[in-house]
A and B are shown apart, each in its own frame.
Chain A
């Protein structure tokens, strides 16, 4: 008896390790059947997807984009599609998409080839620059000025990777690279003098800067060390759904809704003002493939 129990436990344990099954159903069928779409949003990715403390709900550019997606899906299926929001973190966003907890993650995820191996990505909708936040009086103008300085970045981010790569290539010689757990901790390290420059995406750095009591004391440097294309994450092998998300983005650009949302969140009066560069504007215009009204119909 005891032996069967032990074997049984061992098998159960192994199954726990392996149990990350895909959903047999296609995402589109599932949305049609349930009338719901499960969305993954970040909690603090300002201004793309974050929780507004005043209303206690997810808001942001990507969250509004999710609203567009749900509206288009509603037109496709001829009924209201409800958004069921889930909170994801950088660590859980891909596993949660892969195991079917959410249908699509809409936030500020950088598109990389390594990530593409695990999940599918939508079209790129935004480019962020990896850059540094420094004290205004530091006089840092170019990358070489950061040699001999201590720089920080958050664990597990592509920004940290970019900083480490540049240091390994000898493009600049930092005195030390300090890894922090979160962006606010990076800001704290910068303020307490543990580091002289903190690296992440420009939009996030501007967000951190705006939150600080002495926001005039800090500035983002004028150069960028890497560009990060943002895209939305979906499960592999659901090409109908992926097309639908892409069409939603393209349609929003074509109808001008995209620029409207950009202005709302990143315009001069937005949460984090990020001027739209000419290159980015060109990219948006050029990637619009021919698409006409009523594309959402089957």
Chain B
């Protein structure tokens, strides 16, 4: 009994397929990093707003978190890409739709917004894990509320939530594969494209799998170094 499927691992490096994969990797890295920058800053901001004493800010940030956290990313991406420009009315929407590379920008934007809601939740967990005494101690030194967050609580919380942030950083690269559905030519898109051209989908998908694995392991290693560097002395750690 033979195999009906002839393996040809050459599709992973033969031209133009090898070049496609490299282009895919580059795009995945760009989407992941740019999305992560949005997610980190927006997430920290939203997460902090959720514990501020001002009711309206709390309401807005809670609404943001719940909306973005509870809608599947695929649906969000479709919404931003297809319906998003219509929010701005007929004329401006038309102009937005004319932008070359709109799907790429929308993917970064949507990924950033979605991941921000998750980062915000981790921030809230970080704040909650800091004891009340700590807050009162800071305030008693004469700092204002914003100073307290900026100089003490946020840096402290960030160090506590570094391990879950690593997971989010990993997830953003994995979620970037969903950008394929709006035609962004990242790794998964390229592996499917190789499949469509050569019908060697098993090799192409396995190749993509290893690329994601290597990418993920690299992120874990780098974040591991950062984690051990910023570990809070005296806390339980590795």
Contact = CB atoms under 8 A, between A and B. Distances in A.
Interface in B1-16: 1-5
Nearest to B82: A188
B4 A94 contact: no
Interface stretch (B20-28, B95-103, B123-131, B140-148): B95-103
Interface in A59-112: 91, 94-95, 98-99
Chain B interface, >50% SS class: helix
A94 B192 contact: no
A54 to B, nearest CB: 28
A178 B1 CA distance: 44
A155 B183 contact: yes
B100 A176 contact: yes
B189 interface: yes
A122 B197 CA distance: 21
B85 interface: yes
A236 B185 contact: no
Contact of A20 (B3, B93, B182, B196): B3
A99 B189 CA distance: 24
B206 A17 contact: yes
B199 A24 contact: no
Contact of A17 (B2, B196, B202): B202
A192 B183 CA distance: 16
Contacts of A118: 5, 199
Contacts of B2: 22
A192 B100 CA distance: 15
B213 to A, nearest CB: 14
Interface residues of B, number: 32
A115 interface: yes
A181 B86 CA distance: 20
Contact of B183 (A114, A179, A193): A179
A175 interface: yes
Interface in A173-209: 175-176, 178-181, 185, 188-189, 192-194
B181 interface: yes
A193 B103 contact: no
B163 interface: no
Contacts of A24: 1
B181 to A, nearest CB: 5
Given A95-B201, A98-B5, A181-B182, A155 B85 contact: no
A156 B3 contact: no
B193 interface: yes
Given A156-B192, A192-B82, A194-B102, A21 B1 contact: yes
A161 B185 CA distance: 15
Interface in B155-195: 180-183, 185, 189, 192-193, 195
A7 interface: no
Interface in A141-184: 150, 155-157, 161, 175-176, 178-181
Contacts of A194: 97, 102
A91 B197 CA distance: 11
Interface string B79-121: 0001001100000011001101111000000000000000000
8 tightest Cβ-Cβ pairs between the two chains A and B? A179-B183, A156-B196, A22-B4, A193-B97, A20-B5, A181-B181, A118-B199, A194-B97
